[in-house]
Amino acid sequence: MKFFLDTANIDEIREANDTGLLDGVTTNPSLIKKAGRDFFEVITEIAALVDGPVSAETVAHDHETMLKEGLKCAKISDKIAVKVPLTIDGLKTCKALRAEGIMVNVTLCFSANQALLAAKAGASFISPFVGRHDDVGFNGMELIEDIRVIYDNYGFDTEILVASVRHPAHILESARIGADVATMPWDAMKKLFNHPLTTNGLAGFDKDWAATGFSIL
Ligand code: G3P
């Protein structure tokens, strides 16, 4: 499963990238606002830093303007995956951008039927929001299971990009189901490295090694 970071914060992206485990980045208008930086400047910087797809989201609602925005974003780098919303205009734009060979991430997906439409429109990625599903009393991971079954039934190569990830259990379930990508906050990714038995085990080995008086280097 690929690991994307869901942020426009360059410091976090740099830290995650340094682990050697980062496969891409996703952003959205709220994350751009949080970063407090110019949209084009920050997306250009992320694309230069990361060796993988970088999602940049369009903001227009109509197909014509959305397409213009998408084409402009795609000029930043061939790593750009243009993000469009799961609407009729969004999927029309998806088809048009894919015809130009541009990667497209269809966002704000909340049902398996929407995911089916995005795959038919040739989306490179579909972004179902699991955390926001959980927020309103549904089980977000059931949506991922349904999409996996449907995409496998028909051999769609649209990648399932689990979004709105809030904690390690979302990431574990995504991997069990066979999602292609999970995009997550840096805090959630960092938690994956931690286990109390690893911490305690290391402390025990440190203590015993110190008692031997040996040195490896
Ligand atoms: O990629 C979409 C994601 O940023 C939404 O996350 O936590 O705002 O639901 P959240």
Q: Which residues contact 165 (CB under 8 A, 6 or more apart)?
A: 6, 130, 131, 171, 174, 182, 183, 184, 185, 188
**Ligand 1 mutation target, pool 28, 84, 144, most atoms within 8 A of CB:** 28
Residue 176: pLDDT band (50, 70, 90) is: very high
Q: Which residues are catalytic?
A: 83
Read off the pLDDT of residues 125-151 as tens digits, 9 standing for 90 and up. Answer: 999 999 999 999 999 999 999 999 999
CA of 31 to the centre of ligand 1 (A): 9
131 lines ligand 1 (CB under 6 A): yes
Helix (H) or strand (E) holding 82: strand 80-85
The string over 157-188, giving b where at least 16 C-beta atoms fall within 10 Å of a residue's C-beta and e elsewhere, is ebbbbbbbbbeeebbebbeebebbbbbbbbeb
Any idea which fold 2-203 has? TIM Barrel (3.20.20)
Instruction: Tell me 166's DSSP state.
Output: -
CA 32 to ligand 1 center in whole angstroms: 12
> In this structure, are strands 125-128 and 159-162 parallel, antiparallel, or unpaired?
parallel
How far does residue 83's CA lie from ligand 1's centre (Å)?
Answer: 13
Note the pTM of the prediction, 2 decimals: 0.97
- Minimal CA–CA distance to 164: which of 139, 133, 129? 129
Query: 173: Cβ below 6 Å to ligand 1?
Result: no
User: pLDDT at position 36, please?
Assistant: 98
